[in-house]
Amino acid sequence: SGEVLVMSDGTPWRPLVHAADIARAFTAALTAPREAVHDRAFNIGSEVNNVTVAEIAEQVAEAVDGSKVVITGETGADPRSYRVDFARFREALPGFDCEWTVKRGALELADAYRAFGLTREDFERRFTRLAVLRSASESGAVDDTLRWRR
């Protein structure tokens, strides 16, 4: 469509991490000294990838030639905003750094969408949680508590 739509005001923060970096983090944790990681929970990521929704949209627009960001604000300010601290994992595994940036991930996704011919309609219908739940509810695939029927 040439537009990267942001339905909120774009100000909420989101911590983004690429699946490849998560896989690398698992491998690093599995090969780390036991005392460094045993019985500890970690946030995996990098503070540079704590970005606002508007910044994500800008990266997407840069990855898709001829597109621009449109912040509609129609859903208002999103109270869900997350800036995550990744220091614990860095301290436990000092040699680990995320390799993927938001920009690189946006470029990868844009290339994949083009390669597979994925349209906005395909994406929204198949990968937007609310749309999937609404469709499942309307078709009777889930009950009133959103549990899948057998």
pLDDT tens for each residue of 126-149: 778 888 888 899 999 999 898 998
CA distances from 16 to 66, 86, 137 (A): 24, 12, 30
| CA–CA separation, 15 and 59 (whole Å) | 14
pLDDT of 75 reads 87
pTM over 0.85: no
What domains are defined for the chain? 3-117 (3.90.25.10), 119-150 (no CATH)
| CA–CA separation, 119 and 117 (whole Å) | 6
Lowest mean per-residue pLDDT among 35-39, 100-104, 125-129: 125-129
pLDDT of residue 76 exceeding 90, the answer is no
pLDDT of 27 reads 96
pLDDT of residue 120 exceeding 90, the answer is no
| CA–CA separation, 94 and 112 (whole Å) | 32
